[in-house]
């Protein structure tokens, strides 16, 4: 099975409808789809990916991979939570959207305008799917406030339903936490209705962010609550109507809060306990599908929103750099890669991706196809027999052909990503370009090389005057060949100026075109620069 259009360095025009390949149909009926997204799970936190460098037992994730297809070159669109989730849901890079509205702190964050226009759920609804969402939301809500002003810790009327949330994204049933488990308000919402009485002030171990909470809300019960809710959703499904369930887990994101039954289960410590409960969530989903007789024709996809957090580990308080304490015990959360969440390196930008579908996917296969999680929209649309309009999923490329044949060529050659500080990363085959000299994140995360030091050193090696064009060349960029250097130890930027120039041009074209896949040009919702954020020390030397 071949994809009609392969991405190249130049954007290709959309083929006329008569010349496009028809949507790929399932081997049997349209499959049910369950997407399980872990939160801050590193590639090396699972046995199937980490091997001897993983000290956590993950038998159910491993079994999912052994029974399906495991991708080795899969990536989020960013090494931080919200941008990745935005791109997954819309098939559009987060940086194309405008600023959030009704925006408050932490779990009170507002939506980015237009996010609900085209979503995974709405695409699948067009093909007759029932849609459900369970778990961490973090895509923005609009809450009823007490005074009609911006929502926040003291300005929400919890007796009134959400005005904007999963329903606007096309989910017929939902049970969510507005943000992460360390982001107040600590209260669930079922189908936009708040659950429980928000009369308490609570905070959890990691950052001790104290804020509004339901009186009966407990952090160590949240993960089990979510996979139990997922079970309940699946128990109501039948073979008569296909369904799509998005299960967004809150683990192993801090606070490291495994359920009581999981405390002490891992020899690695409480971090291992939490990952083991994530693995159990997969078991609960798979067992329910089997009991319902739905396991054979259900496509189950498992991934993580980015790599492991550098401040996570067995110390419950978030502690910069403590992930290295796990390495001293023989556990490497980033697997064979460098860096962690927030950074430009593969430890933050390479994630597990497993697809299990007994009716159509050959068991025990591995693919090295380049895949972005933003490709889910085009992939699921193709599998469900749904056509996307020219405006939908502008950064999504279907990898349905790889699901059918793990040996087939990747339909994607290029991929754009960002660090937490919006440092662009460009993939071009095995080449990887980072548009900054350091880790791409705040120094407080202790990810080497520190960004501030790297920029100062780069400026010391450069002869002024400085302009933005020169910031796209050595010594201000990093270029790696991941085929020969998966740990990103050797910066080849000075040796390959032509490769850098081609990749910068590719980035510029993708920004200007408003899309990165073939089709008519679109407009970004805001002005996008190659360098969205620069340190003050750099800004001071830039010519007007």
Same domain, 380 and 457: no
Same domain, 428 and 379: no
Whole-model pTM: value is 0.94
Mean of the per-residue pLDDT values for the chain?
94
Q: Which domain holds residue 493?
A: 417-539
| In-domain check, residue 9 | no
pLDDT(11) > 50: no
| In-domain check, residue 18 | no
Same domain, 244 and 133: yes
The string of pLDDT tens digits covering residues 480-490 is: 999 999 999 99
Question: What is the structure's pLDDT at 132?
Answer: 98
> What is the sign of the dihedral through the CA atoms of 353, 359, 360 and 363?
positive
| In-domain check, residue 467 | yes
Nearest to 71 by CA among 287, 353, 270: 353
**Rounded to whole angstroms, how far apart are CA atoms 340 and 112?**
26
Question: What's the domain count of the chain?
Answer: 2
Same domain, 199 and 153: yes
Beta strands of 94-147 (E only): which ranges?
A: 130-136
Q: CA torsion angle for 140, 222, 207, 150 (degrees, to 10)?
A: 30
**Rounded to whole angstroms, how far apart are CA atoms 20 and 121?**
24
**Looking at residue 77, which CATH number applies to its domain?**
3.40.720.10
Question: What is the structure's pLDDT at 29?
Answer: 76
Same domain, 372 and 451: no
pLDDT(477) > 70: yes
**Rounded to whole angstroms, how far apart are CA atoms 4 and 9?**
16
pLDDT(116) > 70: yes
Question: What is the structure's pLDDT at 543?
Answer: 72
pLDDT(534) > 60: yes
Same domain, 429 and 376: no
pLDDT(286) > 50: yes
| In-domain check, residue 24 | no
User: DSSP class of residue 39?
Assistant: E
Question: What is the structure's pLDDT at 25?
Answer: 40
Nearest to 370 by CA among 413, 419, 432: 413
Beta strands of 51-163 (E only): which ranges?
A: 69-75, 130-136
Same domain, 426 and 331: no
**Rounded to whole angstroms, how far apart are CA atoms 415 and 234?**
34
Cβ atoms 489, 365 nearer than 8 A? no
Give the phi and the psi of residue 249 in degrees, each rounded to 5.
-75, 160
pLDDT(374) > 70: yes
**Rounded to whole angstroms, how far apart are CA atoms 252 and 33?**
23
Residue where a domain stops, chosen among 372, 391, 412: 412
| In-domain check, residue 293 | yes
pLDDT(12) > 50: no
The string of pLDDT tens digits covering residues 125-174 is: 999 999 999 999 999 999 999 999 999 999 999 999 999 999 999 999 99
| In-domain check, residue 14 | no
The string of pLDDT tens digits covering residues 319-344 is: 999 999 999 999 999 999 999 999 99
Same domain, 402 and 456: no
Question: What is the structure's pLDDT at 6?
Answer: 32
Residue where a domain stops, chosen among 389, 412, 435: 412
Neighbours of 254 (CB within 10 A): 26
User: DSSP class of residue 460?
Assistant: H
3-state SS class at 224: helix
Q: How confident is the model at residue 15 (pLDDT cuts 50, 70, 90)?
A: very low
Same domain, 41 and 64: yes
């Amino acid at each position: 099975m071949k994809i009609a259009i392969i991405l190249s360095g130049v954007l290709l025009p959309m083929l006329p409808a008569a010349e496009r390949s028809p949507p790929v149909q399932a081997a049997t009926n349209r499959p049910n789809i369950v997407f399980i997204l872990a939160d801050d799970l590193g590639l090396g936190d699972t046995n199937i990916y980490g091997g001897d460098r993983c000290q956590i037992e993950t038998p159910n994730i491993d079994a999912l991979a052994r029974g399906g297809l495991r991708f080795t070159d899969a990536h989020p669109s960013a090494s931080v939570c919200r941008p990745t989730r935005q791109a997954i849901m819309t098939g559009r890079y987060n940086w194309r959207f405008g600023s959030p509205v009704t925006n408050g702190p932490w779990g009170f964050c507002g939506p980015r305008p237009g996010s609900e226009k085209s979503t995974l759920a709405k695409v699948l609804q067009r093909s007759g799917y029932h849609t459900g969402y369970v778990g961490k939301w973090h895509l923005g809500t609009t809450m009823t406030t007490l005074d009609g002003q911006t929502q926040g810790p003291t300005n929400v009327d919890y007796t009134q339903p959400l005005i904007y949330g999963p329903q606007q994204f096309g989910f017929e049933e939902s049970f969510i936490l507005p943000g992460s488990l360390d982001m107040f308000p600590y209260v669930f919402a079922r189908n936009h209705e708040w659950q429980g009485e928000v009369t308490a002030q609570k905070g959890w171990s990691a950052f001790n962010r104290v804020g509004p909470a339901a009186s009966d809300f407990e952090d160590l019960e949240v993960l089990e609550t979510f996979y139990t809710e997922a079970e309940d959703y699946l128990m109501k499904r039948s073979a008569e109507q296909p369904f799509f369930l998005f299960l967004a887990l809150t683990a192993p994101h801090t606070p490291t809060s495994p359920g009581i039954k999981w405390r002490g289960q891992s020899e690695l410590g409480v971090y291992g306990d939490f990952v083991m409960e994530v693995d159990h969530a997969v078991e609960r989903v798979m067992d329910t599908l089997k009991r319902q007789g739905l396991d054979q024709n259900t496509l189950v996809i498992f991934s993580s929103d980015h790599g492991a957090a550098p401040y996570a580990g067995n110390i419950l308080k978030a502690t910069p750099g403590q992930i290295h304490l796990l390495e001293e015990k023989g556990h490497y959360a980033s697997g064979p890669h460098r860096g962690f969440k927030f950074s430009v390196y593969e430890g933050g930008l390479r994630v597990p991706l497993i697809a299990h579908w007994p009716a159509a996917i050959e068991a025990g296969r591995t693919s090295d196809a380049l895949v972005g999680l933003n490709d889910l929209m085009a992939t699921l649309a193709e599998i469900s027999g749904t056509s996307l309009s020219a405006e939908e999923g502008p950064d999504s490329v279907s990898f349905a052909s790889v699901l059918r044949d793990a040996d087939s060529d990747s339909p994607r050659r290029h991929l754009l990503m960002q660090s937490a500080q919006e440092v662009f990363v460009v993939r071009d085959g095995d080449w990887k370009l980072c548009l900054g000299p350091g880790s791409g994140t705040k120094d407080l995360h202790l990810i080497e090389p520190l960004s501030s030091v790297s920029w100062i050193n780069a400026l010391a090696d450069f002869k002024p005057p400085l302009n933005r064009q020169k910031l796209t060349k050595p010594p201000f960029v990093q270029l790696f060949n991941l085929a020969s250097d998966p740990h990103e130890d050797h910066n080849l930027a000075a040796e390959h100026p032509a490769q850098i120039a081609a990749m910068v041009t590719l980035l510029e074209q993708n920004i200007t075109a408003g899309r990165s896949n073939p089709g008519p040009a679109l407009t970004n919702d805001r002005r996008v620069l190659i360098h969205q954020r620069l340190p003050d020390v750099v800004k001071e030397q830039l010519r007007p």
